Structure 1
Amino acid sequence: MDRRISFTSGLLGLLLVSGQALADPPDRHEFTLENGLHVVVSEDRRAPVVTTHLLIKVGSSHEYPGQSGLSHALEHLLYRGSAKTAPGEFSKVIERLGGTDNAYTNRDFTVHHQTLPSERLAVALELSADLLKGAHLSDSEFVREIEAVRSERRERVDEYPAARLDEQLQAIAYPQSSYRTPVIGWMSDLERMHNDELQAWYRTWYAPNNATLIIVGDVQLDAVRREVEQYFAGFTRQILPRTKLPLQSAATGPRRVTVYDAVNRPRLVMAFNVPTYATAESATDVHALRLLDALLGKGLSARLSTRLERQQALLFSPKVSYGALARGDTLFEISASINTAQPKPLADLQAAIWAQLQAIKSTPPSTAELARARALLLAENTFFQDSLSGQASDIAAMLGSGLPASQLDNDRSNLEGVTPEQVQQAASDYFTAERLAVAYLQAKEADDE
């Protein structure tokens, strides 16, 4: 989750690289310091701007029962004083230089990022090095910041029915996987969290050999290497805990949870346990699942919105979500709300969505439909790559998933190589009742049903 929202309007045009399209992939280089710090440099000189992403390979899936939320809380506390900055000063330094900064934590990793005029790269590197090894993590700042995290949980999860629904869905969808742990942490764990836990978490995971520095923008490789060595080479390699992939793609049987709240529009989420690029036996399965995501849920002609929302008026705002980049098995999610003008039970919506999935199992998509899905995926990726932050975030997602930075370099040819029959087979293999977890968000009066 983002530590905060940060925005400087004067840098907007540069962040979007002055509207110039990225015609060819930028030059990408990689090197590793003796202490294990991995560095990825992607040269993009369309504007005099650089973004730096410090990737730390620790997230909620690394946390133990009773200690959920440590990675996210630590992300917050790191900005409350260090060897070189007073509490809150980090962002003020970046802002004075005309830049932006932020941070986020997910299940697999944490990222601290800054975007600045390229002539100020050394400032971003010095501050990132300070984050890696110079944080104070004082008791007084912990008391202040942990209350901010608890407040964030109350506002974004506890008081938001859709977020609570998603949290409960993750809990039943991952009976064997640590992906069931919420990134923000369970409130019961946040209420009993202590600063010494965060300090130990910081010492354990914030190590040069558990970090990757991603630099994208108007830079020269040799100059970057010298500056990285200046600020990071003095850190010592550490012994890291052994980690295992969060596996949960095997069929475990149908599961269901219902969350009751004062909602006007009941909602349904269907989630299937599926692999990712990091866990699949065949990458073709993942290519096909991505195409199914687009075919069912992307664009005006997507099957669910066309057939179930506009033609049948059965449901409202269907969405499909599948993230192929993760270090463990994930979920293929389909969600929708009832059409309040013609309300039907959520079970009817579920049956209608099942029928659309069965249609793909019975008949492969046409070549034209598959081409449309492929074009949507490629266009989406191209748009995301057109910003420096988008490029850096993509690299972070791949490396944080245990994949090479080059994972998607051949994405066009990989997607073009998938046949309609392979898409049909993926639907048959993964859209099964045994892999399904279902979550209903119902009005409180439905409790007696």
Structure 2
Amino acid sequence: MQRRSAPIYGLIGLLGLLMLAAQAMADTPNRHEFTLDNGLEVIVVRDQRAPVVTTQLLVKVGSSHEYPGQSGLSHALEHLLFRGSAKTAPGEFSKIIERLGGTDNALTNRDFTLYHQTLPSDRLAVALELSADLLKNAHLSSAEFAREIEAVKAERRENVDSYPRARLAEQLYAIGFQSSSYHTPVIGWMDDLERMTNEELKSWYRQWYAPNNAILIVVGDVQPHEVQLQTERYFAGFARQNLPSIKSPVQASAAGPRHVTVYDAFNTPMLFMSFNVPSYATAKDSLDVDALRLIQAMLGAGRSARLRTQLVQEQNLLSNPHVSYAPLVRGDTLFNLSASVNPTQVKPLAELQQAIRAQLEILKSTPPSPAELARARALLLAERVFSQDQLEGQAAEIAATRGSGLPASLLDNDAINLARVTPEHIQQTARTYLTPERQVMAYLQAKEAEDE
């Protein structure tokens, strides 16, 4: 009996250490926030372990803000902003950062567009000056637009149109968010890219790129008062402007079962099983979100996750099981389970679907053990503790929370909040959200299956 219990005690000890580490992050008074008169929000986190700084300029516009027929504007604009401004020639932005020993990149998602740089901390002013120039002084020339829109279309052809699993995920979101603007793909539909104009991009830039629609995140070996002085120097001259009225992307909770199939001759058949669920921004009770996070970990995180142990190792039914849930978004979201058929023992996708549903029913009928729940908490806390070890990870968490309209302090008490979730609440959450009425199915099938 004692030998059987030993792993539980070890896991509880690890959980205790992780809770202490997470609480230490929450207790460290190293986050400073201020807002300029023009509405630019600034968040500074001091981390003096190395003479390095990460800056991120977040603009609160993404694909969920786009209108029908104009998909892809936010992502295309991200491309074009590096093609010339008042202070930089096309492509020079990245060359300046590279010459200073730094790196830069950008991304667009459904909620926001983000421009980030990491470089020596004594070059902070350069990063801020370039970011301010990007915010309001981009040229957006017709010649550069003609070049970059072709690059965007090539990116779509390579990463979506020629990649069946990406097409499957895109169709999943399109039917999963029927009444939510999250159905719009970030890269845009090809038909919309084909007819996009530079004037549309210019209008989009003028409409959304304003200091009162932006957040500046600075993490690293910096002094908050120096950051404030430099921010005021480079950003204070931009005027606040009127912004379009926007609403949260909300999806009807009981839209009914939906499904879509993508056919491909060369890929192993696979399926997505997804459910419409709330995020931190839309949930009536954040405890439900914490329970969904723990369910995600129990089903899909680590070698002892239920889908892997039950359906891969024991039943040999599927391969590459994956479970994901992104609660840091500004609207309702999806709880996703995916898997491919086992190539050594090919079974119909319907059988895989039934097996996954059976695991969900077990979750609803039988509460998880204290050890399993402790393991799930440990995995979630470990993931967060390790992500905070890098400046980019700290900045990314702030971007995700603030870009969702949530306070930067949202996860400060994550260890305490996860500990509030009981086995019974896990059951109740599964019964509430992992239901047929909220279910979306997406199948990747062999081409010959089309006629079956």
Same fold (TM over 0.5): yes
Q: Does 1:253 align with 2:256?
A: yes
CA distance, structure 2, for counterparts of residue 176 and residue 273 of structure 1: 11
CA distance, structure 2, for counterparts of residue 115 and residue 171 of structure 1: 35
Structure 1 counterpart of 2:130, one-letter code: L
CA distance, structure 1, for counterparts of residue 396 and residue 266 of structure 2: 35
CA distance, structure 2, for counterparts of residue 42 and residue 57 of structure 1: 21
Who is 2:114 aligned against?
111
Asked if the contact 1:249/1:275 (under 8 Å) is kept, the reply is no
Who is 2:384 aligned against?
381
How much has 1:197 moved relative to structure 2?
0.3
Asked if the contact 2:86/2:138 (under 8 Å) is kept, the reply is yes
CA distance, structure 2, for counterparts of residue 24 and residue 129 of structure 1: 30
CA distance, structure 2, for counterparts of residue 419 and residue 264 of structure 1: 41
Determine which of 195, 199, 222 is the counterpart of 1:196.
Answer: 199
Structure 1, unaligned runs of 5 or more: 1-20
Identity score, percent: 70
Determine which of 140, 143, 148 is the counterpart of 2:143.
Answer: 140
Q: Does 1:84 align with 2:116?
A: no
Structure 1 counterpart of 2:397, one-letter code: D
Who is 2:159 aligned against?
156
Who is 2:224 aligned against?
221
CA distance, structure 1, for counterparts of residue 203 and residue 43 of structure 2: 28
**SS in structure 1 of the partner of residue 34 of structure 2:** strand
User: 1:52-84 CA distances to partner (integer Å, 9 max, x unpaired)?
Assistant: 000000000000000000000000000000000
Who is 1:122 aligned against?
125
Who is 2:41 aligned against?
38
How much has 1:262 moved relative to structure 2?
1.5
Determine which of 423, 426, 436 is the counterpart of 1:423.
Answer: 426
Who is 1:177 aligned against?
180
1:231-242 equivalence runs, <5 A: 231-242=234-245
Structure 2 counterpart of 1:417, one-letter code: R
User: 1:218-272 CA distances to partner (integer Å, 9 max, x unpaired)?
Assistant: 0001111100000000000000000000001511100010000113410100010
Determine which of 354, 369, 372 is the counterpart of 2:372.
Answer: 369
How much has 1:402 moved relative to structure 2?
0.5
Query: TM-score, normalised to structure 2's length?
Result: 0.94
Who is 1:5 aligned against?
none
Who is 1:4 aligned against?
none
Who is 2:323 aligned against?
320
CA distance, structure 2, for counterparts of residue 408 and residue 262 of structure 1: 44
CA distance, structure 2, for counterparts of residue 197 and residue 261 of structure 1: 35
Q: Does 1:409 align with 2:412?
A: yes
Determine which of 310, 313, 330 is the counterpart of 2:333.
Answer: 330
Structure 2, unaligned runs of 5 or more: 1-20
Q: Does 1:309 align with 2:285?
A: no
Asked if the contact 2:25/2:412 (under 8 Å) is kept, the reply is no
Asked if the contact 2:78/2:113 (under 8 Å) is kept, the reply is yes
Determine which of 259, 276, 285 is the counterpart of 2:279.
Answer: 276
1:11-50 equivalence runs, <5 A: 24-25=25-26, 27-50=30-53
Who is 2:66 aligned against?
63
**SS in structure 2 of the partner of residue 93 of structure 1:** helix
Q: CA RMSD in A?
A: 0.9
CA distance, structure 1, for counterparts of residue 300 and residue 227 of structure 2: 41
Asked if the contact 2:364/2:431 (under 8 Å) is kept, the reply is yes
Who is 1:340 aligned against?
343
Who is 2:103 aligned against?
100
* Corresponding pairs, count: 429
User: 1:325-368 CA distances to partner (integer Å, 9 max, x unpaired)?
Assistant: 00000000000000010000000000000000000100111111
Q: Does 1:349 align with 2:352?
A: yes
**SS in structure 1 of the partner of residue 424 of structure 2:** helix
CA distance, structure 2, for counterparts of residue 435 and residue 263 of structure 1: 31
Who is 1:74 aligned against?
77
**SS in structure 1 of the partner of residue 249 of structure 2:** coil
CA distance, structure 1, for counterparts of residue 190 and residue 116 of structure 2: 27
Who is 2:214 aligned against?
211
Structure 2 counterpart of 1:268, one-letter code: L
Who is 2:442 aligned against?
439
CA distance, structure 1, for counterparts of residue 101 and residue 345 of structure 2: 52
Asked if the contact 1:249/1:329 (under 8 Å) is kept, the reply is no
Who is 1:395 aligned against?
398
CA distance, structure 1, for counterparts of residue 149 and residue 300 of structure 2: 38
Who is 1:8 aligned against?
none
Who is 1:6 aligned against?
none
CA distance, structure 2, for counterparts of residue 302 and residue 314 of structure 1: 15
CA distance, structure 1, for counterparts of residue 274 and residue 326 of structure 2: 12
Asked if the contact 2:179/2:252 (under 8 Å) is kept, the reply is no
Query: TM-score, normalised to structure 1's length?
Result: 0.95
Q: 4+ residue runs of structure 1 moved beyond 3 angstroms?
A: 21-26
How much has 1:24 moved relative to structure 2?
3.7
**SS in structure 2 of the partner of residue 85 of structure 1:** coil
Asked if the contact 1:249/1:274 (under 8 Å) is kept, the reply is no
Asked if the contact 1:263/1:442 (under 8 Å) is kept, the reply is no
User: 1:271-327 CA distances to partner (integer Å, 9 max, x unpaired)?
Assistant: 100000000000000000000000000011000011001111000010000001000
CA distance, structure 2, for counterparts of residue 420 and residue 323 of structure 1: 21
How much has 1:137 moved relative to structure 2?
0.2
Structure 2 counterpart of 1:245, one-letter code: S
**SS in structure 1 of the partner of residue 379 of structure 2:** helix
CA distance, structure 2, for counterparts of residue 145 and residue 262 of structure 1: 32
